[in-house]
Amino acid sequence: MYNNNISENFGSMVFNEAVMRERLPKDIYKSLKKSIAEGTPLELDVANVVASVMKDWAIEKGATHFTHWFQPMTGITAEKHDSFLAPDGTGRAITEFSGKSLVKGEPDASSFPSGGLRSTFEARGYTAWDPTSYAFIKDNTLYIPTAFCSYSGEALDKKTPLLRSMHALNEQALRILRLFGLNDVKRVVAMAGPEQEYFLIDMNMYLKRPDLMHCGRTLFGARPPKGQELEDHYFRPIKQRVLKFMRELDEELWKLGVYAKTEHNEVAPSQHEIAPIYAEANVATDQNQLTMELMKTIGAKHGLACLLHEKPFAGINGSGKHVNWSLATDTGINLLDPGDTPFENALFLLFLVAVIKAVDDYQDLLRVSVASAGNDHRLGANEAPPAIVSIFLGDELTGILNAIENDALYECKGKALMEIGAPVLPRFPKDSTDRNRTSPFAFTGNKFELRMLGSAFSIAGPLIVLNTIVAESLRQFADELENSSDFKANLNKLIKRVIREHKRIIFNGNGYDGSWVKEAEARGLSNLKTTPDALPAFVSPKSIELFTRHRVFTEHEIRSRYEILLENYSKTINIEALTMIDMVNKMVIPAVFDYQNELAELAIRKKSISPELSTLPEEKLMERLSKLSEYLTEKLERLTEQTIAVKEIKDNLEMAKAYREKVCAAMSELRMIVDELELIVSSKHWRIPSYSEILNSV
């Protein structure tokens, strides 16, 4: 089953560059490449040929169906399957797949969240092929990656604005490159590589926990006697069953052209990580969605449930996702690589300060892009970066920026830096851009790493924000520099000024330290603790101005997405609260009663044997159980009331706040009682698998 011949299998199920070049007629291949490079629509006659070649290729590979594959606002992917067969009018069937079916589809979209973008009478949206992302075959189906829009052209998905943001970034970056005389560069592309954490647990445990099934996380669970205190799970040898899962996952991913690179045990027990080789941002987004989906389905084949929630277990490290991000030119330059020559150094510094300025100017939008009910359990909880956005540059690079700002000499291993672009920047070894895991956004040698995402996130949202805010910095820089007579002098002035104005966002210290919160406040950085605190920044005039200027979102799209995000938050907590109530009624209370009954019977029987026998232990325990049951009922009632009361609120933001303040509070009070009960109720009666059982189940 496991095939070591990676190169033979790699990408074998992808209609990629090599397949296109080999199979498409030359002129068709050229037109397709041209519209990919320029982002122009495909001519129908070209599409017809591509579709027919694609169909033959897919059928050779065993495909019987095709589907447009898209990424609605649910954060996961959706698909609508059609068969290649069409009646030929004589009672037989022929295989059919036209250019029209390739480039455009019409899924019934009424059940996808649209935040009011699609009025009910116009329920249909359409999907349009994104030719920059390759089609592939999975489960005997040809998958066509598509964007998903309403008939009025408004984006209903995560891919459309991502492509728009990449376009905006390309446009502004090219303006800068022209100023540097790099006229041969035709395209600048945002590259992304997501590192994905996840838990694997035994499927039987999963199926016994309605909270895991419905909410993706445990709503109860006393801390196990042995958690991750000993830190002995990191890079521990991988267990056989998990290894088999990982191998199959690798193999399937390789066939789909995703080169999954590292897989090892993470900090928490049963936790693992997978990282692919980076790709163009939209391709990386597709690939990460595919990876998450395959992890679930392949896991199930091995009797494993893959948990992608950011905080499946309280008191145990949650799962995050790191998105590595850089800018590449079609001529092979990484614009975030410091390089070796004065020219490369200057270019690098300009892009570096563009990112610094962008992150400082739009901290709140980055925070919005990682906000969710699930991630609220992680950010700032001493396992993930704080909710405060800052940039880690490392001491060396920070020292260089300081020197530049102050016209000072920078001493580094005998080399001095006097003026930007004059002598060569010292090469900072990758290790000196240290591994500060507490930083939300870190420079790691030739890329940035955004570490605030929750594991379940689509990487599209954060990438849309990053691309757009950096495009905005570059736009401002280009406006300023294009009109200057002395480019070099003005470049130096600009870099100095931006460092001075935005250095407050740079922080190399320990983000978990309490003093950072105070210091950040003194620096004027924002600290948006929870999702309802963060989301309003998305609809601020500054945000609307940014996104509409770069044509990434229309104002209408922003407002509808804002409503969807608020609704998602409230719905998530509502489902959690209802699940909790249900589990307490059906699983916790019966267990507590059964156990009390057993104790009472024991006490009676003891007395019937001899009145002299002490029943003190039974009585003490029953007293405790009685007391806790009383609290339990009280807290259960309280939570039930809150879930009803919150429904009365009309405004979505107010409702989200009430969920956070009232419902979440009632949930944690109820949980405390249940967790205490778990510690004293006999495991014979306790119907919910414990943390120990779950975390040691594989």
And the tokens for 651?
């405004």
**Strand-pair category, 448-454 with 320-329:** antiparallel
Q: Is 377 in the site for Mg ion (CB under 5 A)?
A: no
Binding residue (CB under 6 A) for ligand ADP from 95, 334, 432, 574: 334
Closest CA to 599 of 572, 626, 618: 618
Binding residue (CB under 6 A) for ligand ADP from 114, 133, 282, 326: 326
Binding residue (CB under 6 A) for ligand ADP from 278, 428, 547, 569: 278
Q: Is 44 in the site for ligand ADP (CB under 6 A)?
A: no
Q: Are 219 and 312 in contact (CB under 8 A)?
A: no
Q: Is 322 in the site for Mg ion (CB under 5 A)?
A: yes
The item of ligand ADP, Mg ion, none sharing an interface with residue 191, based on CB under 5 to 8 Å by kind, is ligand ADP
And the tokens for 288?
């990460």
Binding residue (CB under 6 A) for ligand ADP from 324, 530, 554, 570: 324
Q: Are 396 and 315 in contact (CB under 8 A)?
A: no
Query: Which one of the spans 100-108, 191-199, 305-313, 616-624 is the region binding Mg ion (CB under 5 A)?
Result: 191-199
Nearer to ligand ADP, 332 or 524 (CB): 332
Q: Quick one: the chain helix, strand, coil %, rounded to 5?
A: 50, 15, 35
State how far the Cα of 684 lies from the Cα of 592, in Å rounded to an integer. 11
Q: Is 440 in the site for ligand ADP (CB under 6 A)?
A: no
Rounded to a whole number of angstroms, the minimum distance from the CB of residue 98 to ligand ADP is: 37
Q: Is 446 in the site for ligand ADP (CB under 6 A)?
A: yes
* Helix residue ranges, H only, 415-513: 460-482, 487-502
Nearer to Mg ion, 275 or 663 (CB): 275
The item of Mg ion, ligand ADP, none sharing an interface with residue 277, based on CB under 5 to 8 Å by kind, is ligand ADP
Residue with tokens 């691309």: 467
Closest CA to 401 of 345, 441, 456: 345
* Cross-strand bridge partners of residue 441: 391, 450
Query: Which one of the spans 123-131, 230-238, 322-330, 337-345 is the region binding Mg ion (CB under 5 A)?
Result: 322-330
Binding residue (CB under 6 A) for ligand ADP from 138, 164, 255, 447: 447
Rounded to a whole number of angstroms, the minimum distance from the CB of residue 259 to ligand ADP is: 9
Nearer to Mg ion, 444 or 629 (CB): 444
Q: Are 421 and 345 in contact (CB under 8 A)?
A: yes
Nearer to Mg ion, 55 or 322 (CB): 322
Q: Is 69 in the site for ligand ADP (CB under 6 A)?
A: no
Three-state SS for 442?
Answer: strand
State how far the Cα of 391 lies from the Cα of 450, in Å rounded to an integer. 9
Q: Is 325 in the site for ligand ADP (CB under 6 A)?
A: yes
CA distances from 397 to 349, 377, 446, 491 (A): 10, 32, 12, 19
For ligand ADP, the nearest residue by Cβ is 193
Q: What is the dihedral of CA 203, 207, 213, 218, to 10 degrees?
A: -90
Residue with tokens 């969710």: 372
Strand runs labelled E in 375-482: 391-392, 410-412, 415-417, 441-443, 448-454
Nearer to Mg ion, 275 or 294 (CB): 275
Rounded to a whole number of angstroms, the minimum distance from the CB of residue 117 to Mg ion is: 35
Q: Is 321 in the site for Mg ion (CB under 5 A)?
A: no
Nearer to Mg ion, 164 or 322 (CB): 322
Nearer to ligand ADP, 125 or 394 (CB): 394
The item of ligand ADP, Mg ion, none sharing an interface with residue 326, based on CB under 5 to 8 Å by kind, is ligand ADP
For Mg ion, the nearest residue by Cβ is 322
Q: Is 277 in the site for ligand ADP (CB under 6 A)?
A: yes
Rounded to a whole number of angstroms, the minimum distance from the CB of residue 577 to ligand ADP is: 37
Give the angle 140-143-147 at the CA atoms, nearest 5°.
Answer: 165
Q: Is 618 in the site for ligand ADP (CB under 6 A)?
A: no
Three-state SS for 276?
Answer: strand
And the tokens for 9?
């299998």
Nearer to ligand ADP, 57 or 278 (CB): 278
Q: Is 339 in the site for ligand ADP (CB under 6 A)?
A: no
Q: Quote the DSSP letter at residue 537.
A: G
State how far the Cα of 622 lies from the Cα of 358, in Å rounded to an integer. 61
Rounded to a whole number of angstroms, the minimum distance from the CB of residue 331 to ligand ADP is: 15
Rounded to a whole number of angstroms, the minimum distance from the CB of residue 277 to ligand ADP is: 5
In the structure, how many helices (H) and strands (E) does the chain have? Answer: 24, 20
Nearer to ligand ADP, 192 or 417 (CB): 192
Nearer to ligand ADP, 259 or 512 (CB): 259
Residues 622-651: x/- map of binding to ligand ADP (CB under 6 A)?
------------------------------
CA distances from 687 to 27, 306, 588 (A): 66, 22, 7
Q: Give how many residues touch Mg ion by CB under 5 A.
A: 2
Residues 166-205: x/- map of binding to ligand ADP (CB under 6 A)?
-------------------------xxx-x----------
Nearer to ligand ADP, 268 or 275 (CB): 275
And the tokens for 213?
């099934």
Q: Are 272 and 289 in contact (CB under 8 A)?
A: no
Residue with tokens 């499927």: 203
Longest Cα–Cα distance in the chain: 105
CA distances from 4 to 138, 248, 637 (A): 21, 12, 58
The site for ligand ADP (CB under 6 A) is made up of 191-193, 195, 275-278, 324-326, 334, 446-447
The site for Mg ion (CB under 5 A) is made up of 195, 322
